[in-house]
Amino acid sequence: MAETTLVRPATAPTPPKGLMTRLNMWTGLAVGVLFAVIAYAIVKVIWGPDPQGSDQEVITAEVAWVVGFLIGVGAFVGPWRWLLGGDLTEEEAAFLSGKDAGIARYFRFTTDHKVVGVQYLVMAMTTFGVGGILALMIRTDLITPGSKLFGPQTYNSLVGVHGIVMIVSTIIMVVGPWGNFVMPIMIGARDMAFPRLNALSFWLLFPAVPVILSIGVLGGIPTGWVAYAPLSDQAPPGMDAFAVAIILFVMSSAVAAVNVIVTAVTMRARGMTWSRTPVFVLGVVAGSLLGLIALPCFQVGMLFTLLDRSMFASFFVPAQGGSQWLYANLFWLMGHPEVYVILIPGVGAVLEMAPVFSRKPLFGSRLVLVGFVGIVSLSLIVWAHHMFVSGWSPTLNGPFMLTTELISIPTGLIFLALIGTIWRGNIWLRLPMLFIYGFIWNFMIGGVTGIYLSDVPADNELHGALFVTAHFHYTLLGGAMIGAMGALVYWFPKMTGRMLDERLGTIAFWTVMIGFNVTFLAMFDSGLRGMPRRVATYQPEFATSNLITTLGSYVIAVGMLLFLYAIVRSWRVGATAGPNPWHGKTLEWFVPSPPPLENFEVLPVVTGDPYGYGEPDTRHTSMAAASLASDDHLYLPMEEDLP
């Protein structure tokens, strides 16, 4: 049986000394740059002048940067010690967990899941900022039919980098911050199953960001983020940077996904059966599992692309016997499940919040599980609906239309659970609930517009047009990201100990919602009128809708800046939250805000599901609330309650 009580050493531990205490982000950057320069020079000398371009040098330098960064940041301290026959001492492990390190722990290889969660949150907000600025550049270039702020080469690169930066941001935006920060506390654990892998997942992602941005100085990418072959084969070295970044990102997400799944499966509190597990945990697990299966297809595609480009392999080059359709299939084998990798954790967060603010049990919690399983399973066999007009196997268009349209049944179950929870609830209209209503509005539009695209004859018209772009922005931004913003407001008090400024946040919510709907409703219009995606210029007939879209995008930007201001301001001077500002029932609300290192003095025991609103007899846990003052769930602790 696992130890349930935390044993602390009686004597004050001596802080560890030596090299490992001096490694941090800055040493990582220094070693990484050093490695990159040396690798570049070596390959340059060995390979000599290359008429085909500088792909070999670029790839080697980028990979060396990553390896150097990981060494410099201290990612290999543990394995290195183990290889030499030793292991980390208890003090060193405590040091790695960021014990008593203050703000410095956020800038080094720290294993505490809450530190990793904060790191992911800041990373996601930063990359959203970058992707958002790129979006504004794209929209500004398209403000009138004649405007040419950038040439077509820059424009195409902006589109591609905006795409990949936003895809990465949305994939990490829920599982990164909240899967790490909240999920372990929610299941009553002291940390993730593999704390060092957790830190590794973040520090694998971190060096990918400069690699993505280096696309800008390496000639850009002409392909968009889909990186279709054989266009990717004739692209400048920016394509190599793109491929290296993807390979790295998929490694990072695989490490994170394994960790999340193992943690949720093995480390739930005693008594927390699956039906008593909070729905957010299920969403995070389902999303991670799907990502673990799907994302490596993209990694393989990018690895082969690199070999095509640098070593003249010919996986995807038709002139040498390769197949562009092989690439497209690999890409979409990742690409369609990937939208659900983004969506499901966000949906999990929305369903977690809905009972709290409706003061009602989650409606049909088993249906939600069926819905998640249905979506995860079906989403693996719908990928070729992205290839209805590719010419690849028209015979398969019918079957893929079938699987695609079937997904609306499990998705409908999720809607039923959400609407059923709100039904006759006592709606507590705080800011997170406002985001849930925003989610319902936007995701309904995103979902319904998807059915036009699932239909082959309609897709013949709408594929590759801005209609598609508007559709997936409605699902991924209007749905998943609005849900994630709600989750940020909801768990912000737990992370920082302070409430998010509700007035500022409400203004930001309405600004983003109005800007978002103006932008993308107008974009549907452009698409229906026949405007293709990813074009640097367009005919005058699309002028009005494009002007509206561009102006709407500025409104979104204002709303997002307000939201950021609300976060930064509240983080510094917000009202003190207390352990349970929303009167929630899941375990994270039973520990102080912010939670201490290792979360629980005594591990909790779970006795029911966390949605017993209006049911005096259902109690999620016997654990005492952190605030001894007023909570009516104050009840005897621990072991005695065990069945």
Partner 1 sequence: MIQPDEALPVEPTAPTLGQRLRSPAGRLATRIAGVFLVITAALVVFSFWWPDATLPRMASTTEAAVRNTVLIFSLAAAPVMGLVWGIAYFSLRHWRFGGDLPPEDGPPIRTNNKVVISWLLVSSGLTAFLLIWGLAELTATTAAASTQTPLVVNVTGQQWLWSFSYPQDGGVSSHQLILPLGRPVLFEVTSTDVIHSFWLPEMGIKIDANPAVTTEVGTTPTLLGTFNVRCAELCGLNHAYMATTATVMTSSRFDSWIQSHGGVVGQNATSGGSNG
Q: Within positions 334 to 373, which residues make up the interface with partner 1, using CB under 8 A?
A: 358-361, 363-367
Nearer of residues 6 and 634 to partner 1, judged by Cβ: 634
Q: How far apart are alpha carbons 23 and 34 in whole angstroms?
A: 15
Q: How far apart are alpha carbons 119 and 133 in whole angstroms?
A: 21
- Torsion-angle region of residue 220: left (phi > 0), alpha (psi -120 to 50) or beta? left
User: Which of 81, 91, 307, 455 lies at the binding interface for partner 1 (CB under 8 A)?
Assistant: 455
Nearer of residues 5 and 426 to partner 1, judged by Cβ: 426
User: Which of 419, 602, 634, 636 lies at the binding interface for partner 1 (CB under 8 A)?
Assistant: 419
Q: Does 428 bind partner 1 (CB under 8 A)?
A: yes
Q: How far apart are alpha carbons 447 and 421 in whole angstroms?
A: 20
- Residue 527 carries which side chain, given as an amino acid letter? G
Q: Does 230 bind partner 1 (CB under 8 A)?
A: yes
Q: How far apart are alpha carbons 75 and 459 in whole angstroms?
A: 47
Contacts with partner 1, 152-191, as mask; x by CB under 8 A: xx-xx--x--------------------------------
Distance in Å, CB of 452 to partner 1, minimum: 6
Q: Does 88 bind partner 1 (CB under 8 A)?
A: no
Q: Does 461 bind partner 1 (CB under 8 A)?
A: yes
Distance in Å, CB of 318 to partner 1, minimum: 4
Answer for the pair 460, 389: CB distance below 8 angstroms, yes or no.
Answer: yes
Q: How far apart are alpha carbons 643 and 639 in whole angstroms?
A: 9
Q: Which residues within the stretch 18-77 sit at the binding site for partner 1 (CB under 8 A)?
A: none
Q: Does 429 bind partner 1 (CB under 8 A)?
A: yes
Q: What angle do CA 366, 369, 375 make, to 5 degrees?
A: 140
Nearer of residues 427 and 548 to partner 1, judged by Cβ: 427
- Which 8-state DSSP code applies to residue 69? H
Quote the tokens at residue 30.
């220094």
Q: What angle do CA 632, 637, 639 make, to 5 degrees?
A: 145
Contacts with partner 1, 306-325, as mask; x by CB under 8 A: ------------xx----xx
Q: Does 456 bind partner 1 (CB under 8 A)?
A: yes
Nearer of residues 293 and 328 to partner 1, judged by Cβ: 328
Q: How far apart are alpha carbons 69 and 61 in whole angstroms?
A: 12
Sequence-separated (6 or more) residues with CB below 8 Å from residue 481: 170, 173, 346
User: Which of 427, 507, 624, 626 lies at the binding interface for partner 1 (CB under 8 A)?
Assistant: 427
Q: Which residues within the stretch 588-627 sit at the binding site for partner 1 (CB under 8 A)?
A: 612-615
Q: How far apart are alpha carbons 621 and 629 in whole angstroms?
A: 18
Q: Does 398 bind partner 1 (CB under 8 A)?
A: yes
Nearer of residues 8 and 503 to partner 1, judged by Cβ: 503
CA 238 to chain CA centroid, Å, is 24
Nearer of residues 126 and 393 to partner 1, judged by Cβ: 393
Q: How far apart are alpha carbons 212 and 585 in whole angstroms?
A: 41
Contacts with partner 1, 138-157, as mask; x by CB under 8 A: --------------xx-xx-
Q: How many CA atoms lie within 13 A of 157 on its CB side?
A: 21
Q: How far apart are alpha carbons 152 and 134 in whole angstroms?
A: 15
Distance in Å, CB of 550 to partner 1, minimum: 16
Distance in Å, CB of 71 to partner 1, minimum: 38
Distance in Å, CB of 11 to partner 1, minimum: 46
In a 10 Å sphere around its CB, with 0-12 CB exposed, 13-18 middle and 19+ buried, how is residue 596 labelled? exposed
Contacts with partner 1, 493-532, as mask; x by CB under 8 A: -------------------------------xx--xxx-x
Answer for the pair 439, 479: CB distance below 8 angstroms, yes or no.
Answer: yes
Distance in Å, CB of 461 to partner 1, minimum: 4
User: Which of 158, 248, 272, 413 lies at the binding interface for partner 1 (CB under 8 A)?
Assistant: 413
Q: Does 402 bind partner 1 (CB under 8 A)?
A: yes
Q: What are the angstrom distances between the C-alpha of 531 and each of 387, 527, 534, 538?
A: 19, 5, 9, 7
Answer for the pair 575, 553: CB distance below 8 angstroms, yes or no.
Answer: no
User: Which of 19, 424, 540, 643 lies at the binding interface for partner 1 (CB under 8 A)?
Assistant: 424
Nearer of residues 214 and 324 to partner 1, judged by Cβ: 324
Q: Does 412 bind partner 1 (CB under 8 A)?
A: yes
User: Which of 258, 458, 504, 551 lies at the binding interface for partner 1 (CB under 8 A)?
Assistant: 458
Distance in Å, CB of 571 to partner 1, minimum: 22
Q: How far apart are alpha carbons 57 and 233 in whole angstroms?
A: 16
Nearer of residues 188 and 425 to partner 1, judged by Cβ: 425
Q: Does 448 bind partner 1 (CB under 8 A)?
A: yes
Q: Which residues within the stretch 534-553 sit at the binding site for partner 1 (CB under 8 A)?
A: 534-539
- Which 8-state DSSP code applies to residue 605? B
The sign of the CA dihedral 218, 222, 225, 227 is negative
Nearer of residues 9 and 391 to partner 1, judged by Cβ: 391
Nearer of residues 429 and 636 to partner 1, judged by Cβ: 429
User: Which among 285, 207, 215, 299 has a CA at the least distance from the CA of 251?
Assistant: 299
Distance in Å, CB of 522 to partner 1, minimum: 11
Q: How far apart are alpha carbons 300 and 550 in whole angstroms?
A: 36
Quote the tokens at residue 209.
């960001």
Three-state SS annotation for 245-299: HHHHHHHHHHHHHHHHHHHHHHCCCECCCHHHCCHHHHHHHHHHHHHHHHHHHHH
Q: Does 572 bind partner 1 (CB under 8 A)?
A: no
Q: Which residues within the stretch 280-299 sit at the binding site for partner 1 (CB under 8 A)?
A: none
Q: Does 118 bind partner 1 (CB under 8 A)?
A: no
Sequence-separated (6 or more) residues with CB below 8 Å from residue 347: 283, 414, 479, 480, 483
Q: Does 393 bind partner 1 (CB under 8 A)?
A: no
Beta bridge partners of 270: 605
Distance in Å, CB of 469 to partner 1, minimum: 12
Query: Considering just the CA atoms, what is the radius of gyration of the chain in Å?
Result: 25
Distance in Å, CB of 227 to partner 1, minimum: 10
User: Which of 144, 147, 197, 405 lies at the binding interface for partner 1 (CB under 8 A)?
Assistant: 405
Q: Does 406 bind partner 1 (CB under 8 A)?
A: yes
Residue 356 CB: number of other CB atoms within 10 A? 24
Distance in Å, CB of 405 to partner 1, minimum: 5
Candidates 20-28, 282-290, 292-300, 435-443; binding stretch for partner 1 (CB under 8 A) = 435-443
Candidates 14-22, 190-198, 244-252, 437-445; binding stretch for partner 1 (CB under 8 A) = 437-445
Residues near partner 1 (CB under 8 A), total: 88
Nearer of residues 21 and 618 to partner 1, judged by Cβ: 618
CA 155 to chain CA centroid, Å, is 26
Nearer of residues 4 and 408 to partner 1, judged by Cβ: 408
